[in-house]
């Protein structure tokens, strides 16, 4: 398959398209999710690969000129054999069709990940030592990028990118936290001005999982992750299809690729009276789960359920506890559809007459959310490793009690245990 080009009468390229992908995170582990919902964990195990396959299929259908992967194709820098071969299998249709793939290594798939991928020589990988440029003469295009040599990248890579040449369409590829995007760890930090100063027409960024068009003059784009992997990555996920005409971006389209979607469901107990309370609570829960499933647009829905507000149901909820409520919600979800899983239940309620569940409940809810956030878990693990190194062998690294998610959940339980009635 040849890509589609529209030419001027003098032979210059007038129009072409390319696909911008980032943060596929193939091979992510979902052990914590499996403890709460085996169905959701099984679905997520293949969802990241399926999202990549969807992106590749779109590239072929739209007959793009090339594909950019702006970091974190893999979730680990040493993917196992199954992950490597499965990824190569998804990318192979592009190679067979003659569509070049430009791959920049990020903070997750730095180093050996590039060597483990079968047919990795078919990919055009950006150097880890310095900014590397690839030219596509027939398109009058140049791409510039620098891969991560190791996980840490505290320096500003953007300042090493070359200036644009007049009359050429130029793309900068960079895995970066930019100027400190919320929820993103600091890697290859830079300012928007560092990017715009190069004179490029498009910056293909990665690392920030929330899709964002930072600028349109020039285009500076985070396409977001291909597949949401935790409750903080809710909503539609995918990549970007970019149209270039006469040396300028003329169209930008989000391509939705996710197979599973994280969604939130909320039940306000303040609307429930004391009569037939259990039945009313069940009906309200069913309604909230049904609404959350609809928001998944036909995909497998992984739902976090929250009970909020103040009312008589507060005592009932706290007597049952989160474990029993999760089991009950899971059974109710199956009454709606077998493509629903309840990932967690949060009790954020207060007794009747109280305006809010109080700061303790809010703090506990934040701790519980943190236990599902990969970036926070990574930070907690780093802090624990530092404490362990100073403890003289007293704390064993393999002790399951010191796993980051266990520590955070224990903190949430202790907060709630001391809350009392307000």
The mean per-residue pLDDT over the stretch 81-108 comes to 92
Which tens digits make up the pLDDT trace of 104-138? Answer: 999 988 876 667 677 777 789 999 999 999 999 99
The SS3 of residue 75 is: coil
Q: Which has the closest alpha carbon to 303: 285, 320, 317? A: 285
Q: Which has the closest alpha carbon to 106: 73, 81, 83? A: 73
pLDDT at res. 25: 92
pLDDT at res. 143: 98
Residue 26 is classified by DSSP as B
Specify the DSSP element, H or E, that contains 395: none
Query: Does residue 136 contact residue 142 with C-beta atoms inside 8 Å?
Result: yes
Cα–Cα distance for residue pair 47/31, rounded to 1 Å: 15
Query: Does residue 249 contact residue 201 with C-beta atoms inside 8 Å?
Result: yes
Q: Which has the closest alpha carbon to 247: 144, 143, 167? A: 167
pLDDT at res. 105: 93
The SS3 of residue 325 is: helix
**Among residues of the chain, what percentage have pLDDT more than 70?**
85
Q: Which domains does the chain have, with CATH numbers?
A: 6-256 (3.60.21.10), 260-356 (no CATH), 359-422 (no CATH)
Per-residue tokens: 112: 């050996």
Query: Does residue 188 contact residue 147 with C-beta atoms inside 8 Å?
Result: no
Which tens digits make up the pLDDT trace of 341-353? Answer: 998 999 999 997 6
Q: Which has the higher per-residue pLDDT, 402 or 230? A: 230
Which tens digits make up the pLDDT trace of 158-212? Answer: 999 999 999 999 999 999 999 877 656 788 999 999 999 999 999 999 999 999 9
21: burial class by Cβ within 10 Å (0-12, 13-18, 19+)?
Answer: buried
Residue 394 φ/ψ, nearest 5 degrees = -70, -35
Minimum mean pLDDT range among 66-70, 105-109, 149-153, 323-327:
149-153
pTM across the whole model: 0.78
């Amino acid at each position: 398959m040849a890509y589609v080009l529209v030419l001027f009468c003098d032979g210059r390229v007038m129009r072409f398209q390319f696909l911008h992908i980032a943060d596929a995170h193939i091979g992510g582990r979902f052990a914590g999710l499996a403890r709460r919902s085996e169905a959701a964990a099984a679905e997520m195990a293949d969802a990241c690969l399926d999202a990549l396959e969807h992106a590749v299929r779109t590239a072929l259908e739209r007959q793009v000129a090339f594909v950019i992967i702006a970091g974190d194709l893999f979730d680990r820098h040493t993917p196992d054999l199954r992950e490597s071969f499965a990824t190569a299998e998804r990318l192979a249709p592009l190679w067979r069709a003659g569509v070049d793939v430009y791959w920049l290594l990020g903070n997750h798939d730095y180093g050996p990940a590039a060597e483990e991928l079968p047919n990795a020589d078919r990919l055009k990988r950006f150097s880890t030592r310095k900014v590397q440029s690839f030219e596509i003469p027939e398109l009058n295009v140049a791409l510039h990028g620098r891969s991560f040599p190791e996980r840490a990248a505290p320096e500003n890579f953007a300042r090493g990118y070359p200036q644009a040449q007049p009359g050429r369409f130029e793309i900068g590829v960079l895995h970066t936290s930019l100027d400190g995007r919320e929820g993103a760890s600091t890697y290859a930090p830079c300012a928007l001005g560092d990017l715009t100063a190069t004179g490029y027409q498009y910056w293909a960024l990665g690392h920030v999982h929330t899709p964002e068009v930072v600028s349109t003059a020039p285009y500076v784009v985070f396409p977001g992750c291909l597949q949401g992997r935790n409750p903080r990555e809710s909503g539609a996920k995918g990549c970007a299809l970019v149209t270039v005409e006469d040396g300028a971006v003329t169209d930008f389209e989000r391509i939705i690729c996710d197979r599973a979607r994280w969604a939130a469901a909320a039940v306000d107990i303040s609307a429930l009276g004391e009569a037939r309370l259990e039945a009313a609570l069940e009906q309200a829960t069913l309604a909230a789960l049904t609404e959350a499933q609809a928001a998944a647009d036909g995909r497998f829905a992984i739902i976090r359920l929250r009970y909020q507000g103040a009312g008589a149901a507060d005592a009932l909820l706290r007597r049952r506890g989160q474990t029993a409520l999760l089991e009950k919600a899971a059974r109710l979800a199956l009454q709606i559809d077998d493509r629903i899983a309840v990932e967690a239940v949060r009790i954020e309620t207060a007794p009747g007459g109280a305006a809010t569940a109080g700061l303790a409940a809010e703090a506990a809810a934040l701790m519980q959310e943190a236990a599902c956030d990969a970036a926070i878990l990574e930070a907690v693990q780093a802090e624990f490793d530092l404490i362990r190194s100073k403890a003289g062998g007293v704390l064993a690294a393999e002790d399951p009690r010191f796993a980051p998610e266990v520590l955070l959940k224990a903190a949430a339980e202790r907060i709630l245990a001391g809350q009392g009635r307000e």
